[in-house]
Amino acid sequence: MSHLLKDAHETLGKAENVTKECKSQMESYMEQLKTKLDEHAETLTKQHTKNFTEEANMFTEVKKANITEHANACTVESKTLINEHANTCTEGSKRNISEYTLTCTEESKINLTEHVNTLAKKSIQDIQGAISSKKESDYENEVEDFVRRLKQHYNLTMSHVSISTLLPSGDEFLYKIYAAHAICRIVESNGGNKTENHITTYKEILCRGENEKLHKRIFLQGEAGMGKTTFACKLVLDWCNPGGALSSISKTFGDANTLQDFKLVLLITLRDSVCERDVTNIIKEQIIDMVYTDTERNDAYVMLNKIMQQEMCLVVQDGLDE
Q: What is residue 294's three-state secondary structure?
A: coil
- Answer with the residue of higher pLDDT: 113 or 178: 113
Q: What's the pLDDT score for residue 168?
A: 57
**Mean pLDDT, to the nearest integer, of 105-134?**
75
Per-residue pLDDT band at 237 (split at 50, 70, 90): very high
Domain residue spans of the chain: 2-110, 154-318
Q: Please say if the pLDDT value at position 107 is more than 60.
A: yes
Give dist(CA 184, CA 267) in Å, integer: 22
Residues 6+ apart with CB under 8 A from 64: 26
Spatial contact of 320 and 277, defined as CB atoms under 8 Å apart? no
Q: Which of 121-135, 208-222, 240-254 has the highest mean pLDDT?
A: 208-222
**Mean pLDDT, to the nearest integer, of 294-312?**
95
Give dist(CA 105, CA 145) in Å, integer: 59
DSSP of 51-72, one letter per residue?
HHHHHHHHHHHHHHHHHHHHHH
Closest CA to 222 of 320, 81, 92, 105: 320
Q: What's the pLDDT score for residue 292?
A: 95
Per-residue pLDDT band at 232 (split at 50, 70, 90): very high
**Exposure pattern of 181-203 as b/e (b: 16+ CB <10 Å)?**
bebeeeeeeeeeeeeeeebbebb
Q: What's the pLDDT score for residue 14?
A: 86
- Answer with the residue of higher pLDDT: 209 or 21: 21
- Answer with the residue of higher pLDDT: 166 or 17: 17
Q: What is residue 45's three-state secondary structure?
A: coil
200 backbone dihedrals φ, ψ, rounded to 5°: -125, 0
Going through 276-319 in order, the beta strands assigned E by DSSP cover 313-318
**Mean pLDDT, to the nearest integer, of 81-88?**
75
**Mean pLDDT, to the nearest integer, of 196-216?**
85
Give dist(CA 175, CA 244) in Å, integer: 9
- 53, HSE (Cβ side, Cα atoms, 13 Å): 9
Q: What's the pLDDT score for residue 165?
A: 55
Q: Please say if the pLDDT value at position 16 is more than 90.
A: no
**Exposure pattern of 37-75 as b/e (b: 16+ CB <10 Å)?**
beeeeeeeeeeeeeebeeeeeeeeeebeeebeeebeebe
Per-residue pLDDT band at 169 (split at 50, 70, 90): low
Spatial contact of 300 and 312, defined as CB atoms under 8 Å apart? no
* DSSP category for residue 190: T
314 backbone dihedrals φ, ψ, rounded to 5°: -120, 120
Spatial contact of 191 and 281, defined as CB atoms under 8 Å apart? no
Q: Please say if the pLDDT value at position 74 is more than 90.
A: no
Using the Cα atoms of residue 39, residue 40, residue 46 and residue 50 in order, give the sign of their dihedral.
Answer: negative
Instruction: Compute the mean pLDDT over every residue in the chain, rounded to the nearest whole number.
Output: 82
- Answer with the residue of higher pLDDT: 21 or 75: 21
Residues in the chain: 322
Give dist(CA 78, CA 121) in Å, integer: 63
Per-residue pLDDT band at 250 (split at 50, 70, 90): low
